[in-house]
Amino acid sequence: MQDCGLMGLKIIMFAPVLLEAASCRGLTGEGETFMAVPTFTMRQLLEAGVHFGHNTRRWNPKMEQYIFGVRNKVHIIDLQQTVPMLYAALNTTRDIAANGGRVLFVGTKRAAGEIIAESAKKCGQYYVNHRWLGGMLTNWKTISNSIRTLRDLETQLSSDESRGLTKKELLNLTRQRDKLELALGGIKDMGGRPDMLVIIDTNKEEIAINEAHKLGIPIAAIIDSNSNPMNIDYPIPGNDDAMRAIQLYCDLFAGAVLDGLQQEMTVSGADVGESEVLIPEPTLQESKSEEKNIDHLQVDASSEQESSLEGNQLKSETSSSEDNSFPVNDGSKDTD
């Protein structure tokens, strides 16, 4: 470990290999292969504060290999290691989603709860953002019974039967439903154990990590300077407290899932095209209607593409005008 001056920190920011090559390639264990997962740059990590660790008094010695140095009594995480490790986790997440697997986002800390839920819903996956119930993985049978109870309560409260209940009975059923919804709402449609866990804070989710490790479920987790990287299949050194950093992680993992689902749909579409099932030809009226719809979609797509290009150009101009100096601590970390 070393003390990071301004010049030393800029070495991280302008590492030539990572800034360019890492944004379009990743490590899979078998050499470099092109990755279709969402790309990111070193600048994005820096702007999100991913490099900021905790105060040097609150570190975990097992994280020493991932720490670049110290600045103002705060550990600075080595982003040169973060980039390939994050890509490895994204690549695995994409592959699992492409094979029809379930991805469970876990983040019960207050800063991550809402972001976790939104990201999981955006990519059609599952989440736990309130409290991890013991046995949620290892005792899935009991959890399934609780989910069944939740569904029964939802059906009962939405049916005409609820009109015949007293106010006290209705209040008790509503409270029971809300309590189960808070704990199990993010996994009630999962239908079985997940195939991968994405965890934000390993210190908060120790029970989840132990259960997943016991069952052999792969884990991708953000490990801060005060975290324990043990039993994590895909550790990602980075800030697990700043909301901007958490948002970046969740967006990248959600994008990887969506890419995997798109790949799965593409393969399924090819299989359907090669099948010998005869599809009836549309009538003349249906064909004209479809042609109009296609034309309309093409116009909409062109408009969206033009808007996207304008937005990217504006973003590029704004980014180029920003100062290249190393970002300062945004206050999301303790500096006691």
List of residues 6+ apart from 28 with CB closer than 8 A: 88, 91
Tell me if residue 327 falls in helix, strand or coil.
Answer: coil
- Looking only at the bridges linking them, the beta strands covering 126-128 and 196-199 are unpaired
Encoded amino acid at 255, one letter: G
Token readout for 286 is 């249906």
Same domain, 48 and 187: no
Q: Cα–Cα distance between 327 and 288 in angstroms, integer?
A: 57
Q: Cα–Cα distance between 46 and 313 in angstroms, integer?
A: 21
* Between residues 162 and 48, the one the model is more confident about: 48
CB atoms within 10 A of CB 134: 12
Global confidence as pTM: 0.71
**Range from 10-14, 48-52, 230-234 carrying the lowest mean pLDDT:** 10-14
Same domain, 92 and 214: yes
Among 266, 287, 319, where does a domain finish?
Answer: 266
Provide the pLDDT for residue 300.
47
Same domain, 221 and 143: no
- Is residue 321, in this structure, part of any structural domain at all? no
Provide the pLDDT for residue 15.
39
- Is residue 118, in this structure, part of any structural domain at all? yes
- Is residue 112, in this structure, part of any structural domain at all? yes
What is the average per-residue pLDDT within 300-329?
43
* pLDDT tens-place string over residues 138-170: 999 999 999 999 999 999 888 877 787 888 989
Encoded amino acid at 307, one letter: S
What is the enclosing helix (H) or strand (E) of 311? helix 284-320
* Between residues 316 and 73, the one the model is more confident about: 73
272 confidence band (pLDDT: 50, 70, 90):
very low
39 confidence band (pLDDT: 50, 70, 90):
confident
Same domain, 114 and 172: no
Q: Cα–Cα distance between 223 and 226 in angstroms, integer?
A: 8
**Range from 3-12, 36-45, 245-254 carrying the lowest mean pLDDT:** 3-12
Q: How far is CA 166 from CA 105, 159, 169, 172, 177, in A?
A: 39, 15, 5, 10, 16
Token readout for 1 is 């470990």
Burial of 255: CB neighbours in 10 Å, binned 0-12, 13-18, 19+: buried
- Is residue 14, in this structure, part of any structural domain at all? no
Q: CATH number for the domain including 111? A: 3.40.50.10490
Q: Packing angle between helix 243-274 and helix 79-98, nearest 10 degrees?
A: 30
Q: How many domains does the chain fold into? A: 2
Same domain, 149 and 251: no
Q: Packing angle between helix 167-184 and helix 140-158, nearest 10 degrees?
A: 140
- Is residue 12, in this structure, part of any structural domain at all? no
Q: CATH number for the domain including 159? A: 1.10.287.610
Provide the pLDDT for residue 159.
84
Range of the domain at 145: 138-192
**Range from 77-86, 253-262, 310-319 carrying the lowest mean pLDDT:** 310-319
Provide the pLDDT for residue 268.
72
* Between residues 27 and 188, the one the model is more confident about: 188
Does residue 117 have a pLDDT over 90? yes
Question: CA geometry: angle at 4 spanning 334 and 69, to 5°?
Answer: 65
Same domain, 57 and 119: yes
Alpha helices in 2-124 (DSSP H): 6-13, 16-20, 42-47, 79-98, 110-122
